Amino acid sequence: MKITIKDVATEAGVSIATVSRVLNKKNRVKQETKLRVQQAIHKLNFQPDHTARSMIMKETRTVGLIVPNLSNEYWALLAEVIQDKLWEHGYSLIVCSTNKSADKEMAFVKSFTVRRVDGVVFGSSTLFGSSRHDEQLANMLKSLPTVSIDPSISGLNSVVGDNLQGATDAVEHLIGLGHRRIAYIGGPTVSKQRELGYRNAMMNHELPVLEELIKRGDDNTIAFSSFGYHSMLSLLESGEKFTAVFCGNDLIAIGAIRALEDRRIQVPADISVIGYDDINIAALYKPSLTTVRQPMREMGSAAVDMLLELIQCPDGNNVPKKIVYQNQLVQRESSGPAR
Amino acid sequence: MKITIKDVATEAGVSIATVSRVLNKKNRVKQETKLRVQQAIHKLNFQPDHTARSMIMKETRTVGLIVPNLSNEYWALLAEVIQDKLWEHGYSLIVCSTNKSADKEMAFVKSFTVRRVDGVVFGSSTLFGSSRHDEQLANMLKSLPTVSIDPSISGLNSVVGDNLQGATDAVEHLIGLGHRRIAYIGGPTVSKQRELGYRNAMMNHELPVLEELIKRGDDNTIAFSSFGYHSMLSLLESGEKFTAVFCGNDLIAIGAIRALEDRRIQVPADISVIGYDDINIAALYKPSLTTVRQPMREMGSAAVDMLLELIQCPDGNNVPKKIVYQNQLVQRESSGPAR
DNA sequence: TTGAAAGCGCTAACAC
DNA sequence: GTGTTAGCGCTTTCAA
């Protein structure tokens, strides 16, 4: 049988109200009584039932996190940071990975409402775009204290990385190295901003954007290096000349490099390659990857701060905020002067 | 104001018990009444309070997971698999990463008790070893339905990978390729089994185990490729001859390969390198890594099965089970015939 | 400073 | 079939 507050009260010879008082510290209890209660608690190894407390206090001290997956180290790191910081504030984290299923995504949010989580961090960028689903989801999310990471959903607080600027910087770096014919391999969604940055940099420098030099995959394919591999191959076979390629993420870049090596083309001597995200392996790869870093730790931390504030002042000012983090170019071996 | 079962009852013109009945399906309700109630539920957008339900049912439909971290893809994948499978059974997952802190580990388990999670998956191998802490922890864990992954804690159900066998296979593979002087770079804990496998294979083939050819780091260092890098360097500088090295994990192997390359030593032509874990990058690296795969998906899935059974039959037979998964050698480019 | 009692939102006997 | 009622384990008035 579970030990309840009643057992403790009996053991200490006081009422349950008193036990509750020493448990919650707030109200003062005579030192002596307090001691007796504490002894009883210790003796019986009593653990107050969080569930019962939640029901009354109307707070579960739990927040929900939705991410597309955890096998991507980008999200895994985010989850870790968020959990860690939340824990310091007494919150637990329920983690849900959608695996790109819009149905699951919706079901997760629903379960968050049912479970009465105090807030949610929504980091499921990839699904946004299919309008019907979006609207419904956004509405559910709005009824909960929510901060979204990456997709900046209108009406919600959000923390995002400046992909447009990061991509622009990367491509301008290539241009600065003397490259003129620069290819792009990427995907939709997040990568849309990155592709835009590519176009932006090219236009800034009055360089033509050649559609033949652009390879685009969908969300499922771009998560694998084989997409980069095959895109590079088809780029090579197209006969179009280029001396550099900007990739929508590091995995694509690695695949592209592999393809280049298979064709005995040197990186960066013959062709420069830039990735995005700065995953762990980027620094370890051979050649090490020039890439753009999203400050995930900072973003996760900021998201928690925002969320906590939202939770603590439920009717603080209602205009949604958005924090934008710069994305930083990290120069390594895979990019060099144009041949 | 939150909509409660009472509001629904009023709206539908029935008692709360009836609403509860249609909610829980079990008891039969007249078709017509049921319809009225369902309409009311829909109209008011009523979501039954999970917290209140938990209190009565004495189950939270929540399980807790403890891992050392999520930035390691090994654990991230595990978390993902576990969350996914649990969700199919109506459970949510609270994820906690210890970051190697024994205090946190204990606090997490305590919070699980307080939150009345229905079960816990304990995957925090690295901390085991410091006796006092262990005993206390093991006792707390035993009071909850728990399955442990990787550390096989006596008295608990567990799912483990056969690191001894995997390591033995890896080293025997090297021996089969004609290598005689084989080095080992690894860490403690999990790696202990791996080091044992190394010794085992050497002894099986009557090869001497030279302590000069063994480099050992601690849990914190071995998570970084720089440990492999520097260990390899010191191995090289020791002047001892060797033609192959077996590494305690893939990151170490990658670091070692980098060091070799920096010294213009070819892998595998001059020296063969084998890693462990088969992380994503292993197949992508250049040269691609020969390594040993732990079947994380299967292990996570098995853990959930075990846990669910534990939860569903609390007083099923009490003798703890242990499922051991074979670890499989994956041959790639980084290992080849001895020079 | 303490106790009695009224719930929080729900489920589960137990009646009708 | 359906309603009444008694809790689940706690916090919180309100009195004493």
Tokens of B111: 């919070």
What pTM value is reported for the model?
0.93
Q: In a 10 Å sphere around its CB, with 0-12 CB exposed, 13-18 middle and 19+ buried, how is residue B64 labelled?
A: buried
pLDDT at residue A144 in the model: 93
pLDDT digits (tens, 9 = 90+) for A268-292: 999 999 999 999 889 989 899 999 9
- Which residue type occupies A192? K
Indicate yes or no: strand C within 7 A of the C-beta of B4.
yes
Question: How far apart are the C-alpha atoms of B316 and B226, rounded to whole Å?
Answer: 48
The shortest C-alpha distance from B92 to chain A (Å) reads: 7
Indicate yes or no: strand C within 7 A of the C-beta of B55.
yes
- Of B234, B248, B240, B243, the residue nearest B184 (C-alpha): B248
Q: Closest to B51 (Cβ–Cβ): which among A51, A261, A281?
A: A51
pLDDT at residue A35 in the model: 95
Section A209-217 average pLDDT: 93
**Which of A69, A75, A115 would you mutate first to test chain B, the one with the most B CBs within 10 A?**
A115
Q: Is A155 left (phi over 0), alpha (psi -120 to 50) or beta?
A: left
CB of B34 within 8 A of CB of B22? yes
Q: Which residue is nearest to nucleotide D3 (CA to C1')?
A: B15
Say yes or no for a CB contact (<8 Å) between A115 and B50: yes
Scored b (16 or more CB within 10 A) or e, B232-252 reads bbebbeeeeebbbbbbbbbbb
Q: Which residue is nearest to nucleotide C5 (CA to C1')?
A: A17
Residues of B in contact with A284 (CB under 8 A): 225, 251, 254-255, 258, 281
Residues of B in contact with A286 (CB under 8 A): 258, 261, 285-286
Partners of A182 in beta bridges = A244
Tokens of B291: 């390594």
Phi, psi of B105 (to 5 degrees): -50, -50
Residues of B in contact with A93 (CB under 8 A): 94-96
Helix (H) or strand (E) holding A313: none
pLDDT at residue A54 in the model: 97
- Of A303, A271, A304, A307, the residue nearest A287 (C-alpha): A271
Residue with tokens 């290598």: B179
Tell me the pLDDT of chain B (339 aa) as tens digits. Answer: 789 999 999 999 999 999 999 999 888 899 999 999 999 999 999 999 999 999 999 999 999 999 999 988 889 999 999 999 999 999 999 999 998 888 999 999 999 999 999 999 999 765 555 566 778 888 899 999 999 998 778 889 999 999 999 999 999 999 999 999 999 999 766 678 999 999 999 999 999 999 999 999 876 666 777 899 999 999 999 999 999 999 999 999 999 999 999 999 999 999 999 999 999 889 989 899 999 999 999 999 999 999 999 999 866 667 889 999 999 999 999 999 998
Indicate yes or no: strand C within 7 A of the C-beta of B25.
no
Q: Closest to B114 (Cβ–Cβ): which among A47, A96, A251?
A: A47
Indicate yes or no: strand C within 7 A of the C-beta of B48.
yes
Residues of B in contact with A255 (CB under 8 A): 284
The shortest C-alpha distance from B87 to chain A (Å) reads: 9
Tell me how crowded residue B132 is: count the other CB atoms within 10 A of its CB.
8
Partners of A84 in beta bridges = none
- Of B187, B165, B193, the residue nearest B293 (C-alpha): B165
pLDDT at residue A243 in the model: 97
Say yes or no for a CB contact (<8 Å) between B92 and A111: yes
pLDDT at residue A100 in the model: 83
Tokens of A311: 């939770």
Tell me how crowded residue B212 is: count the other CB atoms within 10 A of its CB.
11
Chain A: residue whose CA lies nearest to B280 = A71
pLDDT at residue B1 in the model: 72
Q: Closest to B60 (Cβ–Cβ): which among A51, A111, A113?
A: A51
Contacts (Cβ under 8 Å, ≥6 apart) of A103: none
One DSSP character per residue, A156-186 reads SEEEEE-HHHHHHHHHHHHHHTT--SEEEEE
pLDDT at residue B130 in the model: 56
Residues of B in contact with A59 (CB under 8 A): none
Question: How far apart are the C-alpha atoms of A40 and A47, rounded to whole Å?
Answer: 12
- Of B100, B146, B108, B145, the residue nearest B124 (C-alpha): B100
- Among A37-51, A132-146, B77-91, where is mean pLDDT lowest? A132-146
All structural domains of chain B? 5-48 (1.10.260.40), 60-159+296-323 (3.40.50.2300), 163-294 (3.40.50.2300)
Angle A78-A80-A83 (CA atoms, 0-180°, nearest 5)?
105
β-strand pairing of A146-149 with A157-161:
parallel
DSSP B26: S
Tokens of A209: 């954007």
Helix (H) or strand (E) holding A214: strand A214-216
Helix (H, G, I), strand (E, B) or coil at B31: helix
How many inter-chain contacts (A to B, CB under 8 Å) are there?
125
Residues of A in contact with B55 (CB under 8 A): 49, 51-52, 55
Section A28-52 average pLDDT: 95
CA atoms within 13 A on the CB side of B107: 15
Q: What is the CA radius of gyration of chain B?
A: 26
pLDDT at residue A190 in the model: 65
The shortest C-alpha distance from A200 to chain B (Å) reads: 31
Say yes or no for a CB contact (<8 Å) between B99 and A84: yes
Helix (H, G, I), strand (E, B) or coil at A331: coil
Which bases in strand C are touched by protein, i.e. have an atom under 7 Å from a CB? Answer: 1-5, 7-13
Q: What is the mean pLDDT of chain A?
A: 92
pLDDT at residue B89 in the model: 97
CB of B332 within 8 A of CB of B283? yes
Tokens of A128: 């946004």
Which bases in strand D are touched by protein, i.e. have an atom under 7 Å from a CB? Answer: 1-5, 7-13
pLDDT at residue B190 in the model: 65
